[in-house]
């Protein structure tokens, strides 16, 4: 890639300094860095907004941190933060403000978009959601035949699914157990078929969640849900039942009405909320139904606490800024291609999947804001699984593979389900993994255990593998909000340094357009005009789909 046009490299002196600094320190080990600085853990950890972050096991020195801070400053981070919080249209390719922070702004704060203070609108929707949630949770909201709702099915995809399902799983401990929740996202008919298989239409409520209300998968599933409700064996056989069993969450009133949902039963949001930043908007209605309005507001307070921290803390003490700069250090200087997020909390089992959309749809970009190609790598591949399961699957590669994989470990001091010694065992594994990754086990140590010479190399752990450890007291709605906002702002800082638009997603369009073109081709016999591979695949599908099933 050409180096010429990159503002990050050409307009920041920090980038060149970091490149030279990297050459100077790339071989220093964490063992050595810890041995020569007994205060390292204390100096390289921060506490704020209910989170404690130990970032001492990173391959950095004071100079690294100073240079990374300089990079942030030279990239204009401060003014970009101010621009986001003040409602400027920083999503330039869609000419939109980026204001998920307004979704958790307390009453009384003012955030102006196009001359309008959006905070009162946000609270009006929250109030409407709360009234609805109270009615459903208390049994006051009745199905068409007069029965209370027992199961809520959220139909959505991407940001209209991953946030809701992650938050439901994360906060299940706080949920009203008499209500069951299911999530349908995939256009694969199996998803809706299995989700509705054992449900009773009389007691089922569908939330159709779609910012645009045009997404093919969601609309296809929503239509099938309606058919199931009205026409299945025990279906309600009356169009009017839709009003009791469907609500919509969308920015598109026209399409909601076209679908047949009474817009009275629609919960709105705004074009300045990106899909992957929407779990705390009306898209979070399933979360509110599960945990109730009060706890939902606690979650918003957690988001807001991190927003405030991000907006006001000096960069040296700013959790999202520091974590983002560290991720850039590995991504662009060490050449790390992926980043693992490893929650040691079963309730956070969907957190890595949620983060994948947040990080990769935001920062998987190949051009800068100027339209020029980027000249350094942008978004890393984020992935992960809850611990300790991952340890028995992919950790081998993190410990002894040839790739550098920076890890974020997330743990809690208290379990929501304290049973015997489970939690101590769980958390011991967080600390052990971070320690093993950082310091490894030398050949001398392995030999001293009496290992045969030929086996020694196999049992050596090089160490020097970086990680952050994020600790909080307990997984509460508030802490979940704080954690999500932490990563939202990490993504923001990365985007600012890389000078990309973190808030559009043009890269998902082409596949959608081609699929829409191919659907009728699968169903018809028209002459195909694709490449030879696509033509042959379509022809094979046409032929085999009509062959009878064996047996």
Residue 515 Cβ vs ligand F6P, minimum distance, rounded to whole Å: 12
| Number of chain positions touching ligand F6P (CB under 6 A) | 14
Does residue 502 touch ligand F6P according to CB under 6 A? no
Does residue 160 touch ligand F6P according to CB under 6 A? yes
Q: Is 34 helix (H, G, I), strand (E, B) or coil?
A: helix
| Residue 17 φ then ψ, to 5° | -65, -40
Alpha carbons 512 and 409: distance in angstroms, whole number: 35
Alpha carbons 154 and 205: distance in angstroms, whole number: 9
Burial of 54 by CB count in 10 Å (0-12 exposed, 13-18 middle, 19+ buried)? buried
| Choices 36-44, 116-124, 152-160, 394-402 (CB under 6 A): range interacting with ligand F6P | 152-160
Alpha carbons 169 and 171: distance in angstroms, whole number: 6
Residue 188 Cβ vs ligand F6P, minimum distance, rounded to whole Å: 16
Treating both helix axes as pointing N-terminal to C-terminal, what angle do 319-328 and 62-74 enclose, rounded to 10 degrees? 100
Handedness of CA 387, 392, 398, 400 (dihedral sign): positive
| Choices 39-47, 117-125, 131-139, 157-165 (CB under 6 A): range interacting with ligand F6P | 157-165
* Position among 21, 57, 137, 211 found at the interface with ligand F6P (CB under 6 A): 211
Choosing from 392, 458, 529, 543, the catalytic residue is: 392
- CB closer to ligand F6P out of 24 and 519: 519
Residue 437 Cβ vs ligand F6P, minimum distance, rounded to whole Å: 33
- CB closer to ligand F6P out of 221 and 331: 221
Treating both helix axes as pointing N-terminal to C-terminal, what angle do 509-523 and 532-545 enclose, rounded to 10 degrees? 50
Residues 6+ apart with CB under 8 A from 115: none
Site string for ligand F6P, 218-247 (x = CB under 6 A): x-----------------------------
CA-CA distances (angstroms) from residue 455 to 95, 436, 460, 539? 60, 19, 9, 54
Residue 4 Cβ vs ligand F6P, minimum distance, rounded to whole Å: 32
The answer to whether 142 is a known catalytic residue is no
- CB closer to ligand F6P out of 169 and 361: 361
* Position among 508, 515, 522, 536 found at the interface with ligand F6P (CB under 6 A): 508
Does residue 110 touch ligand F6P according to CB under 6 A? no
- CB closer to ligand F6P out of 212 and 534: 212
The answer to whether 392 is a known catalytic residue is yes
Treating both helix axes as pointing N-terminal to C-terminal, what angle do 216-231 and 189-196 enclose, rounded to 10 degrees? 40
Is the omega angle on the peptide bond into residue 388 within 30 degrees of 0, that is, cis? yes
Residues 6+ apart with CB under 8 A from 398: 340, 405, 407, 437, 465
| Residue 277 φ then ψ, to 5° | -115, 25
Choosing from 169, 202, 217, 361, the catalytic residue is: 361
Does residue 320 touch ligand F6P according to CB under 6 A? no
Does residue 515 touch ligand F6P according to CB under 6 A? no
Identify residues 355-374 at the interface with ligand F6P (CB under 6 A).
361
Q: Which two tokens stand for residue 36?
A: 């020569």
Site string for ligand F6P, 271-310 (x = CB under 6 A): ----xx----------------------------------
The answer to whether 361 is a known catalytic residue is yes
Does residue 464 touch ligand F6P according to CB under 6 A? no
- DSSP per-residue codes, 199-245: --GGGEEEEEE-SSS--HHHHHHHHHHHHHHHHSTT----GGGHHHH
* Position among 7, 158, 268, 320 found at the interface with ligand F6P (CB under 6 A): 158
Catalytic residue list: 361, 392, 512
Residues that bind ligand F6P (CB under 6 A): 157-160, 210-212, 215, 218, 275-276, 361, 505, 508
């Amino acid at each position: 890639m050409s180096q010429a046009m990159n503002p990050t490299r050409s307009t920041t002196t920090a980038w060149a300094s970091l490149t030279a600094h990297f050459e100077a320190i790339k071989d220093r080990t964490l063992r050595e860095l810890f041995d020569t600085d007994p205060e390292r853990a204390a100096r390289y950890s921060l506490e704020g907004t209910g989170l404690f972050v130990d970032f001492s096991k990173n391959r950095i020195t004071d100079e690294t941190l100073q240079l990374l801070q300089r990079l942030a400053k030279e990239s204009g981070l401060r003014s970009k933060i101010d621009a986001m919080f003040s409602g400027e249209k920083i999503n330039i390719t869609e000419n939109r403000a980026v204001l998920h922070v307004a979704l958790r702004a307390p009453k009384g704060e003012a955030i102006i978009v196009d001359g309008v203070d959006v905070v009162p609108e946000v609270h009006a929707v929250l109030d409407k959601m709360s009234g609805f949630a109270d009615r459903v949770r208390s049994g006051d909201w009745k199905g068409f035949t007069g029965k209370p709702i027992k199961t809520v099915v959220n139909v959505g995809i991407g940001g209209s699914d991953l946030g809701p399902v992650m938050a439901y799983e994360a906060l299940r401990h706080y949920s009203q157990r008499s209500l069951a929740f299911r999530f349908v996202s995939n256009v694969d008919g199996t998803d809706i078929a299995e989700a509705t298989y054992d449900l009773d239409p009389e007691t089922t409520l569908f939330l159709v969640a779609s910012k645009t209300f045009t997404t093919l998968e969601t609309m296809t599933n929503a239509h099938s849900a309606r058919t199931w409700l009205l026409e299945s064996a025990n279906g309600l056989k009356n169009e009017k039942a839709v009003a009791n069993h469907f609500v919509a969450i969308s920015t598109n009133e026209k399409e909601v009405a076209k679908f047949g949902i009474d817009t009275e039963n629609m919960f709105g949001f705004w074009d300045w909320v990106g899909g992957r930043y929407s779990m705390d908007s009306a898209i979070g209605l399933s979360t509110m139904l599960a945990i109730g309005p009060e706890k939902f507001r606690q979650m918003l307070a957690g988001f807001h606490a991190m927003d405030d921290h991000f907006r006001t803390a000096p960069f040296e003490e700013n959790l999202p800024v520091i974590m983002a700069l560290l991720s850039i250090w590995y991504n662009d200087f060490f050449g790390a291609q992926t980043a693992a997020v490893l929650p040691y909390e079963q309730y956070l089992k969907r957190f890595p999947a949620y983060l994948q959309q947040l990080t990769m749809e935001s920062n998987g970009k190949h051009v800068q804001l100027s339209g020029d190609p980027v000249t350094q790598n942008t978004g890393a591949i984020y992935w992960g699984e809850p611990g300790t399961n991952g340890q028995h699957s992919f950790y081998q590669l993190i410990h002894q593979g040839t790739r550098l994989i920076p890890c974020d470990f997330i743990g809690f001091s208290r379990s929501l389900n304290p049973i015997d010694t489970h939690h101590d065992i769980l958390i011991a594994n967080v600390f052990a993994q971070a320690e093993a990754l950082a310091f490894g086990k030398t050949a001398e140590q392995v030999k001293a255990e009496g290992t045969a010479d030929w086996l020694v190399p196999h049992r050596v752990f090089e160490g020097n593998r970086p990680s952050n450890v994020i600790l909080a007291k307990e997984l509460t709605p508030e802490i979940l909000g704080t954690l999500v906002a932490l990563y939202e702002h990490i993504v923001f800082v990365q985007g600012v340094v890389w000078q990309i638009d973190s808030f559009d997603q043009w890269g998902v369009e082409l596949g959608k357009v081609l699929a829409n073109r191919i659907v009728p081709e699968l169903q018809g016999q028209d002459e195909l005009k694709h490449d030879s591979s696509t033509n042959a695949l379509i022809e094979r599908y046409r032929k085999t789909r009509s062959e009878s099933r064996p047996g």
